[in-house]
Amino acid sequence: QVQLVESGGGSVPAGGSLRLSCAVSGYTASSNCMGWFRQAPGKGREPFARISSGAGSTLYADSVKGRFTISRDNAKNTLYLQMNSLNAEDTAMYYCAAEDSKHGRIWYAGCAFGYWGQGTQVTVSS
């Protein structure tokens, strides 16, 4: 059974930083695409960062490029998101996602995501 458990969310002032973690079980993070999505109040779920399997090439949406970094610790089977220079527009629920090559329905950057964490809230005050 695949489980993704996010942690590290919270409230920070604009300009601050947070580091999100996603502990993965029942699944090998390094062998598949992993990603981060977010959903702001009243908006749809938005993909913004992806790390590929193997060598781990990364890709970011323009809205976070240069401020956020997605990474993976293969030994810990954990995905991370370092977020710097946060602003009010980054306020959202943040979700860790994993590729499901058989049943994934949400496509981003060449990966079909089908496994999701429960989300962790990030609130940035201006």
- Dump pLDDT digits (tens) for 8-26: 999 999 999 999 999 999 9
- Dump pLDDT digits (tens) for 96-106: 999 999 999 99
Residue with tokens 């976070």: 64
Question: What pLDDT does residue 125 have?
Answer: 96
Using DSSP, state whether 88 is helix, strand or coil: helix
Query: How far is residue 81's CA from residue 102's CA, in Å, rounded to a whole number?
Result: 26
72 close to 78: Cβ distance less than 8 angstroms:
yes
Question: In percent, how much of the chain has pLDDT > 70?
Answer: 100
- Dump pLDDT digits (tens) for 31-65: 899 999 999 999 999 999 999 998 899 999 999 99
